[in-house]
Amino acid sequence: MMPIDGDGSVDDAHTILGVEEELYFTPIGGSVDDFPPDFKEYIRDLIYYYYNFADLIRNALQKLISKDEFDEQLVQFWAATKTSEGRTLLTTQFQPFALGKTYLTPWRNVLCEYRMGMCREYNSFYADAECAEEQLGLPGRVFLNQLPESTPYVKHYTLKEYPQRDLALRCKIGSSLALPVFEHSSHTCVGVLEIVSPDELSSDCRDKSFLGHIYDKFQSLVPIMLVASGIHLRKEFGLHCFDGYDHYEMEIGDENKARTTAFQELKTVLETVCEIHNLPFAMTWVPCSACNGLLQGPHLSEAVEYCGLNMDFLDVFVEVIKCRHLGKGGVAGMVLSSPNLLYCSDIAQLSLTEYPLVPFARVCQFRGWFTLCMQSNYTANDIYVLEFFLPTSNGWGDNSKTSLSLILGTMEENFRTFKLASGQKLGDLLSVEVMDFQNGLKLHSVEKIQAKGRGVMLQPGHLDQPPMDAISNEMNVVSEAQKYILPSLDPLQSGKVTTQLDSSD
């Protein structure tokens, strides 16, 4: 919230940002003047601290909304608060928000309707480890994971993933982007910035300059003086957002001939596999040295044309993953441990916790998917997580495991320096963990695979315990007081092969 002018009127800046109430800090049981002098100073300095915090949010939104890229966008801030029970609650009610220029009255009306609907029906979400997925919502997930989340198609969220989906669709909201906001000095996550647009293919999901404006406007620092209990402390107070593009550029700017050679081999093999087996998309993730996550690698390569789908969908997917990080707690990160191979018969049925890019998989109508973790002789202990999305034609139904066998055979024939992170070669007898779905239930098993030329023979086996059960509840939770540790993932594409960068714990 922002303070109101002394005469009770709201100034122009506050009107633009939709801030309508004053911020009060009145202790229960009396006024500030009823307390000892030191405590009064502490309370007043706390008020000053939060006024500056609110001003930073307001000023950042003012600067953002003046950019043409934010035309026909609603930007709203979710502030982190504590309940009387000590739980973390994110709220957007009475918090700064901004509307970009709208050239069509209907667009402005639907954005205003959405903002009012959010304040009435969905103005707060819990954001702690006690929450079920539907209690978190989009702001809670972003706050807990401390990673951005975006989709150009909110209609592909489930109600559990995006409780306000029906409201958004009624208001003709097409795309959504949410970013964690951190206090500069402590790196504590203080809230979430949400941007929504009626445009399904909004630039927020595909344009680096758009995100760059957000990161730039949240970097300014304000010196403030805190005086409490006789201690005078001058510190700089400011905000910043997590910048996935910056991490990406740091990685590709680090010249590493061994990694370049490994990427070239990956690129060639992924293209070959996609061409031979008509795969729509493949991507590779590698460690990101800038954070505890995965980031997109430098090599993008056109492999095969995608047949039967609008290519705009896949193009948006590829653009989004350039700035996105994905946590290792989901299925893509499970292959970092043995058996290093994982197959899923329908990735579209996974949750956001299991696979944060699942809305894009649904848009692209991806179904079959498998991932494996590999290492190259060129780069010693560096790991590479490869993902393959399988065709959606009926021919891949019951034969999907046989098709996987053929793909592994092609990889075994073409890789020269790569092997599984476990040390096994692709030609060895391998174990692949299988996730299947029957009548809405997720089933787990292990299949034994022996590569033979371009084909492999499946030897069915059973998994004694379902190790994947924990995935559905696993999340990279970071407390407010914790240091700035950001778990992440990002992919790479080739036409549709992609390469990406990750960081190990």
Mean pLDDT, range 15-41, rounded to an integer: 40
User: What per-residue confidence (pLDDT) applies to 394?
Assistant: 40
- In this structure, what token pair is assigned to residue 335? 């292959």
- CATH fold group of domain 246-450: Beta-Lactamase (3.30.450)
Q: Do domains 17-240 and 246-450 have the same CATH topology?
A: yes
pLDDT tens column, 381-438 = 888 888 888 876 443 345 677 778 888 999 999 999 999 998 999 888 889 888 888 8
Please indicate, yes or no, whether the overall pTM of this predicted structure exceeds 0.95: no
78 touches 264 (CB < 8 A): no
Token pair 């009926």 is found at: 394
CA dihedral of residues 423, 428, 431, 436 (deg, nearest 10)? 120
- Give me the CATH code for the 17-240 domain, please: 3.30.450.40
pLDDT in tens, 198-218: 876 554 444 555 565 566 656
Q: Is residue 161 pLDDT above 70, yes or no?
A: yes
Q: What confidence score (pLDDT) does residue 18 get?
A: 34
Q: What are 37's two structure tokens? A: 């002098």
The 10s digit of each residue's pLDDT in 358-392 is 888 888 888 888 889 999 998 888 888 888 888 76
For 291-314, the pLDDT digits (tens) are: 654 444 432 222 223 333 445 667
SS3 46: helix
Rounded mean pLDDT of 247-259?
66
Other Cβ atoms less than 10 A from the Cβ of 491: the count is 29
Query: Can you read off the two tokens belonging to residue 215?
Result: 């990161």
Task: Give residue 239's identity as a one-letter amino acid code.
Answer: L
The whole-chain average pLDDT of the chain stands at 68
- Domain map of the chain by residue range? 17-240, 246-450
